Structure 1
Amino acid sequence: MRRLKRDPMERAFQRGYQNGINGKSRDLCPFTHPDTRQAWINGWREGRNDNWDGLTGTAGLHRLNQFNAVS
């Protein structure tokens, strides 16, 4: 049996954050499972907030790394 390299919820959050920081729509969420979808939307919401606060480019990537360190 293969092990997942990363937690699927963490990966969904990261992908949502990347979409949010780039200003993409929440409707682009590729997940249908409720828990994974919620993790993606939470990441998207954080990314949108950072986008609105001007944390784009390197500052946004630094913030994403902070989320990884907390997990």
Structure 2
Amino acid sequence: MEAQVGDWVVVESPHVGEPRRVGLVIRVEHADGTPPYTVRWTEDDHESLFLPGPETHIEKPEALFGSK
């Protein structure tokens, strides 16, 4: 998995009926874009160091919000 600052982390819920988590990548620890990432989570605006699991994917900003 590779991400850049400004990309979105999307974590799908492993449980039916629970919402997915979405967060903005605000820091990438490695130049090649590999984890871990510092993410600001949209549900409560907290920041955390994040290591993605198999239920995680990266979305480019234009994929979520369209290009301008």
Normalising by structure 2, we get a TM-score of 0.26
In the superposition, the TM-score normalised over structure 1's length comes to 0.25
